[in-house]
Every structure is written in C-alpha cells, then in structure tokens.
Amino acid sequence: MNKILLAKFFAAFSSLSAGIAIVATRFVISDTDPETIAVLRFGIGALCLTPFLIVGFIRNPIANADWPKIVLLGILFFGLFAFLSNAALKYTTAAHGAIGLATSPIITLVLAWIFGRENMTKVKMICVILALFGVTIAVSDSLVENSAGEELLFGDMLMLLAALTVSIYSIFAKPYIVKYGGIYFTSIIMTIGVLSLIVVFQLAGEPIQLPNFSPVNWWIILFLGVVGGAIQFTSYIWALERISPSTVGIALTLAPISAFIFAWPVLGEVISYQAIIGLVLVVSAIVIMNKQSH
C-alpha cells in the first residue's frame, strides 16, 4: 500500500472515528462541562503520545523561531477547538454537530481564497452556496421560537465556530507538520492545547476537577482519549502531511455518517429528514469542490 493510499485510509478512519467521538461526547457532556472533557480527552491522548514527544525533542528539536506559531496552533486546535466543539454538544444534537463540523473544508476554501492561497472559481462559489444552503436546511428544525430551539441553534453556531478553528489550523499548520512530522507535531500541540485549557480556567477561577463519573462514563472518556484523541488526530495530521487539505477534507464528510449511525441507538436521537437533506447537500458540495481542486 503506497503512502498516498494509506493517507487516504487514515483520513477516512479519522473522520469515521470523529463521528463516533461526537456521539460519545454527547453521551457524557451532561454530567460535566466542556473544558473538563477536553482536558481529559486530550490529556489522555497526549499521554499516549508522550514517547513520540520525547524522541522528537531529542532527534528534531523545535526551532526557536517556530515556537510562537506552534504554541498558537496548539491553543487554537486542542484548546479553542476542543472547548467549542464540546460546548456545542452541550446544546445541539450529535447529528447537527457532525454536519456543522463537516463544513470545515468549505470554510477552508473561503479562508484560503481570502488569504490569496486559492482561486475562487464559479464552480467553487456554487459549492460554498450549496454547503451553506445544506447547513441551513440541516439546522432548520432548530429555527423555532422556543427555548429548546434556541439552545439547538446556539449549539449549531458554536460548532460552526469550531469548524472555523479547524479551517484556520489546516491552512497554517501544514508547513510545520511537514517539517517536524505528523505524530511528533501532534504530540506537541496536543500537550500545548491541554495545558492552555488548564491555565485559562485556573486563572478564571474555575479549575479543572475530576468529575464524579460512572464506570461506563470513564470507559467512554478512555475511548475518547485513546481512539478519539491520540489515534484519531494522529491519523488526521499524518494524512494532512501527505495529501492535500481538500482531499483530507472530503473524508471529513464521513463524520456525520458515523454520527448518524450511532446517534439513534446510543443517544436515542431521531435523525430528522432536514438533517439528512442537509448532509446530502454538504457532502455534494465538498465532493464537487474536491474534484475541482485536482
């Protein structure tokens, strides 16, 4: 199996596990807070990657000039993104959250165009409009005048902000991923992100504390840390190192599919027809956009 094909496999695996992780997070989020789950999930993930961190520091130490940007990327991805995505799932459904996160490739396209890194063709513009239309339809059941609808909409907006952080990361992180290697780089920024959350909430007077979880919830947290933390994001960044962001982005459309599959039996969430139609439109937009990028 060549590296390109293997990278596509890891991108697909990462996206499928992301959908399952969304369902798992939604399962435990009601018993704690977004920042605690983020610290536990990625703290466990960082511990799993500690050997790669140590070996990397010995063999390929980070250049002094690179540290400021790498710290910012760590805070952005495993700090801000981790908090926003968890906070979103406090309010919205797993299906809505997964669709919102799947818009990241479209947001990446728009940002890359704004920063002059990609040309915006008519077809790509149509894809952006199609994706926005799809998201609007997907969350239309939350556009109602009651408290439940307002909470859903607030969660949907938080997840779109989380997708924005993923897009910014995808644009600016690749040079460092290529320079230092995917697994080593992941171990660094994951550790930075976790430490940033601990420090921020300590300074805010809300220190991270271990929740009073049931054994089932602790097993879910362990799954989120090992599979949904270390393995998922190492796979994602390893793929991003070897194939284009647009190719990795198309795999992200698998996240809502796995979330849809597990949301009903695990959470009892009924998948609305609006969510299915919205997902089809978002996936179509990303597939068309990806073909235009080749």
The pLDDT of residue 120: 73
Q: Other CB atoms closer than 10 Å to residue 282's CB: what's the count? A: 28
- What helix, strand, coil percent values describe the chain, rounded to 5? 85, 0, 15
Query: CA–CA separation, 206 vs 173, rounded Å?
Result: 30
pLDDT digits (tens, 9 = 90+) for 49-61: 999 999 999 999 9
Q: Could you give the percent of the chain with pLDDT greater than 70?
A: 91
147 pLDDT tier (thresholds 50, 70, 90) = very low
pLDDT digits (tens, 9 = 90+) for 155-214: 989 999 999 998 899 888 888 988 998 899 999 999 999 999 999 999 998 888 888 899
* Rounded alpha-carbon distances, angstroms, from residue 51 to 177, 183, 225: 18, 10, 16
Region 146-151: what's the mean pLDDT?
58
Q: Which two tokens stand for residue 258?
A: 């796995």
Q: What are phi and psi of 272, to 5 degrees?
A: -75, 155
The larger pLDDT score, comparing residue 124 to residue 177, is at 177
The pLDDT of residue 4: 79
Helices (H), 31-121: 34-48, 50-59, 67-75, 82-89, 94-102, 104-114
Region 271-291: what's the mean pLDDT?
77
Return the H-helix or E-strand segment holding 180: helix 147-180
Lowest mean pLDDT among 76-80, 203-207, 274-278: 274-278
Residue 138 has pLDDT above 80, yes or no: no
Nearby residues of 150 by Cβ (< 8 Å), 6 or more positions away? none
142 pLDDT tier (thresholds 50, 70, 90) = low
The larger pLDDT score, comparing residue 41 to residue 136, is at 41
Region 235-257: what's the mean pLDDT?
77
The larger pLDDT score, comparing residue 281 to residue 218, is at 218
145 pLDDT tier (thresholds 50, 70, 90) = very low
The pLDDT of residue 286: 72
pTM, 2 dp: 0.86
The pLDDT of residue 292: 61
The pLDDT of residue 269: 81
Mean pLDDT of the chain: 86
Dihedral angle of Cα 70, 73, 74, 78, to the nearest 10 degrees: -160
